[in-house]
A and B are shown apart, each in its own frame.
Chain A
Amino acid sequence: MAAISREEVAHLARLSRLAVTDEELDRFAGQLDVILQSVARIGDVAADDIPPTSHSVPLTNVYRDDVVQPCLQQDDVLAGAPDAAEGRFRVPRILDEEE
């Protein structure tokens, strides 16, 4: 059985705001399935004595002091923006995601 369905890929594409054609859905579903199946093989070697982990290093409590560091210049900040106005990033209107 496939690790990811075509519907799930369509759902992910929608969440990512990617316009994916039917043809692409089929292709990506197949490719993602191969990736997921490969990653799933980790489960084969992880015995009960190996707890799931989200971090590869056993570190906790890495903090910085509450001290101000230099920021970027506004020009530099906006240099990478597709468009800018009034010192702000200019983006197309967003309605569907409001709230």
Chain B
Amino acid sequence: MSTTVLPSYEDATARYEPVIGLETHVELGTNTKMFCGCPTEFGAEPNTQVCPVCLALPGALPVANRAGIEATIRIGLALNCDIAEWCRMARKNYFYPDMPKNFQTSQYDEPLCTDGYVDVEIDGETVRIGIERVHLEEDTGKTLHVGGATGRIHGATESLVDYNRAGIPLVEIVTKPVPGIGAKAPEVAKAYVTELRDIIRSLGVSDVRMEQGSLRCDVNTSLNLPGEEWGTRTETKNVNSLRSVERAVRSEIIRQASVLDAGGRITQETRHFQEDTGDTRPGRSKETATDYRYFPEPDLVPIAPDRAWVAELKASLPERPSVKRARLREEWGISALDMQSVANAGAVELIEQTIAAGASPAGARKWWMGELARRANETGVELAEVGATPAQVAQLQALVDEGKLNDKLARTVLEGVVAGEGDPAQVMAARGLGVVSDTGALQAAVDEAIAANPDIAAKIRDGKVAAAGALVGAVMKTTRGQADAKTVRDLILARLS
């Protein structure tokens, strides 16, 4: 194949109009599976969370988990969907060992929730993403391909299957096609998945962690010339982070533009996003179209959510994350951009709780978005799991406010907290950290610094107050950082005035 020159993204979107669509799977955080009482805990020994129902042993009868139905309806309501008055589960028949039943219990032409929307904000402009459907299904087992040199499916000689995950409730959320967003398509895709994640997290029905697979996203992309019909779409899988959502759409737009530029045609196919290179590669193309032979699941009776129950669920929905963010932004007095960073870092609730524990908005935000965000980023964990609690951060800030810790010492104390050495006060005591408040000792250190630096002292005496910084530094050094810089500065200026 000849090497094609890829157009730039700006060039591609100047000439072609993208249409995107997203299919998102959310693993629900129920205690038990969707159709049996097996636990859903992650990380158990293989095939220890299975029973006759999820193994599809003869005679086993599935019964739907009320919590799974309720969570799906709540997601639908939060996405402004209509809730079906009556619908059925369906069997999606296929031949692959990740389901022992040879079918996946899903929904076909009767989804539980339909016709909703999510609004996202891009550069101060609202883009409405239509929701086609939200339906309930079950997750599949985990297949481990072994025997190949690379451990990947190509070259594998056999597969080992663990059914612990098979049957865990999974909610699929499908958008309507989103046209008319031009070059913003990648940004819109990312903003949508972010908003969806925030909404679902606020409902408390899933931990929606992309890197752990409880939130999975497939991205559909097509291009067309202005005024012409929508082009053929491709479906990109293996998109495992918010950043990847954006990159996948972007690279697929560039790739399709280059194919169209060369007079080629886009093949309707499944492609795989490559995390390392940021581009998409074709999956295995199928000779025959899939034929899932859907039919209503005879072992499960229809779902007919009581209208009063649906109304009750709707009335008890939590504040929408975007509305909440706008409210908090006002309360905290920060810019939209800063609020976006806070939300992206997953720090909204943490900062909110830190403020509730007594910290000022600025103080709370400083620690979570500074030291702790940096540390979470470095160690690759979510901010909420970085090792410090909102109460501890509030306590730390209180110690700073009381003058018992300066900024530098507070950072050291925080390190101890994150390392599991206890609350800030305990870390301070154990490590002997704290601001020297003994004025006599400080005064001695100041005098020593002045005596050691006569030139600087002379400058300050002549009115060059800015030179005091060097003496403050000297004092901080002799006190091993355990002095309050402002107090030291005041002492120096008082001595040399």
Contact = CB atoms under 8 A, between A and B. Distances in A.
A5 B147 CA distance: 41
Contacts of A11: 291
B303 A69 contact: no
Interface centre among B52, B100, B156, B160 (most CB of A within 10 A): B160
Nearest to B155: A93
A97 B162 CA distance: 18
Contacts of A63: 63-66, 69
Contact of B296 (A54, A71, A78): A54
Given A54-B88, A87-B45, A69 B145 contact: no
Contacts of B36: 69
A85 B50 contact: no
Contacts of A23: none
A74 B45 contact: yes
A57 interface: yes
Interface stretch (B19-27, B90-98, B344-352, B418-426): B90-98
Contact of A64 (B52, B66, B95, B288): B66
Contacts of B69: 63
B282 to A, nearest CB: 10
A30 B256 CA distance: 48
Interface in A73-99: 73-74, 77-78, 80, 85-99
A66 B162 contact: no
A91 B50 CA distance: 18
Contacts of B298: 54-55
Nearest to B238: A99
B220 interface: no
Given A66-B65, A66-B67, A69-B51, A60 B301 contact: yes
A95 B158 CA distance: 10
A38 interface: no
B153 interface: yes
Nearest to B49: A71
Interface residues of A, number: 42
Contact of B64 (A15, A62, A94): A62
Contacts of A69: 32, 36-38, 51
B39 A68 contact: yes
Contact of A92 (B159, B162, B284, B288): B159
A4 to B, nearest CB: 14
B268 interface: no
Nearest to A75: B47
B224 interface: no
Interface of B is mostly: loop
A21 interface: no
Nearest to B309: A61
Most B Cβ at <10 Å: residue of A64, A91, A95: A64
Instruction: Please tell me the size bucket of the interface on B.
Output: 35 or more
B336 interface: no
Contact of B96 (A65, A71, A74, A94): A94
A72 B50 contact: yes
B301 A66 contact: no
B427 interface: no
A97 B94 contact: yes
Contacts of A78: 47
A98 B51 CA distance: 26
Contacts of A61: 301-306
A65 B290 CA distance: 35
Contact of B95 (A16, A74, A87, A89): A16
Contacts of B143: 94
A37 to B, nearest CB: 20
A72 B60 CA distance: 13
B301 A55 contact: yes
Given A61-B301, A63-B63, A93-B147, A99 B283 contact: yes
Contacts of A71: 38-39, 48-51
27 contacts: A11-B291, A54-B298, A55-B296, A60-B301, A61-B301, A61-B302, A62-B63, A66-B30, A66-B31, A67-B37, A68-B31, A71-B39, A71-B48, A74-B45, A74-B48, A77-B47, A77-B163, A85-B160, A87-B45, A89-B160, A89-B162, A90-B159, A91-B97, A97-B94, A98-B96, A99-B237, A99-B270
Given A72-B55, A89-B162, A95-B154, 10 more contacts: A63-B65, A65-B66, A66-B32, A72-B50, A77-B163, A78-B47, A89-B47, A89-B100, A90-B159, A91-B158
